[in-house]
Amino acid sequence: MMDGDGSDRPDELPRLLAPLLNGEADLVLGSRVLGDAEPGSLLPQQRAGNWIAAQLLRLLYGIRVTDIGPFRVVRRHDLLSLGMSEMTYGWSVEMMARAARRGLRVREVPVGYRRRAGGESKVSGNLRASVRAGFRIIAAILRSRRDRSR
């Protein structure tokens, strides 16, 4: 999975696939924080939001990550087993929380990140949108904690 705005680099897909294909991980996340982010591609509110979400995921689920970005790979049967329900901004953290609860092996690999090719982000396009998305992401993390049935 990756954003369609040109910010993720499809040529780095083999880097994400390697741990999955080698049996080292069940969910592989591309970390823009660990990788080479183009200047101006990760705004301060994105970095702060990533840090807050990562800390909540660590505290509530024991999963240690640096980025909640969308660039990731997972096998279809593992994805379906998660019973995902989040349809908006919180889908990425819901996937991570449910994967941790199910005992899936989660691993991060560094990836590059570019400024988006066009349009304005619904998440980081302005501070108000970022705050709104941030609250929805935090709510998704907490909802996943409360929802023990999945």
DSSP-assigned beta bridge partners for residue 27: 74, 106
Kindly report, residue by residue over 38-88, the tens digit of the pLDDT. 998 888 888 999 999 999 999 999 999 999 999 999 999 999 999 999 888
Domains of the chain: 10-146 (3.90.550.10)
30: nearest Cα among 110, 86, 138: 110
One-letter amino acid identity for 37?
A
* Residue found by looking up tokens 């953290």 in the block: 93
Q: For 4-21, what is each residue's pLDDT tens digit?
A: 777 889 999 999 999 999
Residue with tokens 């990788």: 35
Give yes or no for residue 100 having a pLDDT over 50: yes
